[in-house]
Structure 1
């Protein structure tokens, strides 16, 4: 039992270090036992400064409307500068680029905002059911904006992912013999994944974004072009994506239901 606690602490310390202190406990207490033989872990840390920072002095509190019909007061960032925005049928997409580093990679945070205040579930259904939806609905042109407001938010989330993955059809690792390609040992025939724990953290403010994630395993639609200013007021639940645009790799994806529920 002492050894199990020790191993848990080692893994959690590693995750905390690799995520710059954002995720302190990826393995919960009691997740490692006497039958544990292997622990696979991975971590991702991202910190990006906006290419054009928001002025903190212009951040003001406004209503953010929740799915249950109520609202909360939330600090909103704003800007009068041109923005990467495209309007589609029933939703808009905003892209805010990050400053480029020393290499060629280009990172952008995309906000998928449904027109209807309760439109996030329908939008999520499109994202999950239409192949290539995200890539086919990105803004590529800066436009003049009218009313432009983005909430500051901070999210921390963790869950046990085994049931979700099994529901998606990934069953082999959870049965005996499913890890023989990963473990070159006779013991591999008796090994199986018992649990997968995932935790993530993301914070968005005037400066940019800080995000981390850690895991441990015991139809193309044409944009509606307009010469008028486009309003983009994210005052109700929306989807966000952090994407590397050269490779189209998505680093983080999630949704904001309540910016205050961090």
Structure 2
């Protein structure tokens, strides 16, 4: 499997997740941010310890078969190794974004990890492996893992694992955390930020601060939505990170737009702006989102069932059977302001056991619900995505 095919699978996974996460949050009217890259990495790590039908389920979600040939656990591990080594290689010289990506494996002292799993966890996933005492020190280990997440996300994500989620029956915890902080290539002038109305899906409106910038921006316009690209400042390496905002023309058009994004694999790449155009009015709101997700329910909807039942096929992690019970917790944070973007996410899996006059320039006024994502453009890997329903809601 080529690298481009592997990244395409990760993007397809991200876009299949988006409408399901949106539906899960719709009833509560919540702003949403999540990291499909974090969840993909965590499930890929789980795949390295899985065999049989459970592995088939995971691979069908992580890298669905195409052209008569599906991916293997080695394929998804190779993608993880490339992402860790290239996309998430940390801060670059020259002022590029600061990126960190960490994986962890905590195994109860009563078990020994299988050598093959330990090797791939350390080499492909750069995972920290720790032997701990879940059976008598479960509260202490919870604090230890939460401290690890907080450190890996620059303090943005605290109390990732709630009290009681780890107990004396826990045997293995797989964890992943991702952190991103980037400055805009063209920063917004804070003196131009002004309050304005943001229209909610229920017909009401709220007053929030809107940022504005120079009149030339990367923009593409279609029949019922527009896409804005806001690049982050590059460093001295090849990476180029960007935020993309998908704005429906209709104030209540967000859900239909998310369905379109997930409708076909190439929809995203076909609609990203490639050139700068002169805009008329240009305003986007500042926003800050913190969102926690029990990913288990979403993954079941996507066809992953055996990890959450009695016989999950997790035979290749440790030298003794792992008891029943698996949960996948995911929490993300993002803040967008005049300087740039700070974002973080963490995922955890607990195992138990012509001649006409020119038209006027287009506007881009994000004064109603919209979808966004953060991508590394040279590899096309999607780090974060989410939607904004009400930017006045505090994180």
Using the TM superposition, give the Cα deviation of residue 171 of structure 1 relative to its aligned residue in structure 2, in angstroms: 1.7
Give the conservation status (yes or no) of the 8 Å contact 2:215–2:280: no
Partner of 1:204: 336
Match of 1:179 in 2: 314
Offset of 1:88 from its aligned partner? 1.0
1:126-141 alignment runs, 5 A limit: 126-141=260-275
| Residue 213 of structure 1 pairs with residue 345 of structure 2 | yes
Alignment partner, residue 125 of structure 1: 259
Q: Does the alignment pair 1:62 with 2:193? A: no
In 2, Cα distance between equivalents of 1:153 and 1:177: 40
Per-residue CA deviations over 1:89-124 (Å, capped at 9, x if unaligned) read 200000000001231010000000000000001101
Tell me what 1:155 maps to: 289
Q: Distance in 2 between matches of 1:99 and 1:80?
A: 16
Shift of 1:81: 3.2
The CA distance in 1 between the partners of 2:245 and 2:196, in whole Å, is 18
Corresponding pairs, count: 252
**Residue 300 (structure 2) pairs with residue 166 (structure 1):** yes
> d(CA) in 2 for partners of 1:84 and 1:227?
18
Distance 2:171 2:137 in 1: 12
Q: Counting helix residues as a fraction of each chain, which structure ranks higher? A: 2
Q: Match of 1:17, SS?
A: helix
With normalisation by structure 1, the TM-score equals 0.92
Q: Given that residues 178 and 192 in structure 1 are in contact (C-alpha distance below 8 angstroms), is that contact kept between their aligned partners in structure 2?
A: no
Whether 1:106 and 2:258 are equivalent positions in the alignment is no
Question: Quick check: 2:246–2:370 contact (8 Å CA) kept in 1?
Answer: yes
Q: Secondary structure at the match of 1:9?
A: helix
* Separation of aligned partners in 1, 2:173 and 2:146: 12
Q: Is the 8 A contact 2:225 2:249 kept in 1?
A: yes
Partner residue, 1:256: 388
User: 1:170 deviation in Å?
Assistant: 1.1
> Is the aligned partner of 1:75 residue 2:204?
no
Cα distance per residue 1:186-239 (max 9 Å; x no partner): 32xx44552111100000000000000001111xxxxxxx86411000000000
Distance 1:253 1:192 in 2: 32
CA distance in 2, matches of 1:79, 1:238: 19
> What residue in structure 1 maps to residue 361 of structure 2?
229
What residue in structure 1 maps to residue 280 of structure 2? 146
What is the distance in 2 between the residues matched to 1:149 and 1:139?
17
Extract unaligned runs of 5+ from structure 1: 219-225
Q: Secondary structure at the match of 1:186?
A: coil
Q: Which residue of 65, 80, 87 maps to 2:221?
A: 87
SS of residue paired to 1:39: strand
CA, structure 1 residues 177+125, in 2 after alignment: closer, same or farther (shift >3 Å)? closer
Distance in 1, matches of 2:211 and 2:342, equals 16
Which moves more between the two structures, 234-243 or 130-139? 130-139
Q: 2-side partners of 1:228 and 1:130: how far apart?
A: 32
Change (3 A) 1:129 1:191: farther
Give me the CA root mean square deviation. Answer: 1.4
Find the aligned partners of 1:11 and 1:184 in 2 and give their Cα distance: 20
List structure 1 runs of 4+ shifted beyond 3 angstroms. 190-193
Which deviates further from its counterpart, 100-109 or 146-155? 100-109
Distance apart, 1:3 and its partner CA: 1.1
Matched, 1:20 2:121: no
- What residue ranges of structure 2 are gaps of 5+ in the alignment? 1-134, 351-357
Could you say which residue in structure 1 is the equivalent of 2:4?
none
Asked if the contact 1:56/1:77 (under 8 Å) is kept, the reply is yes
Which is richer in strand?
1
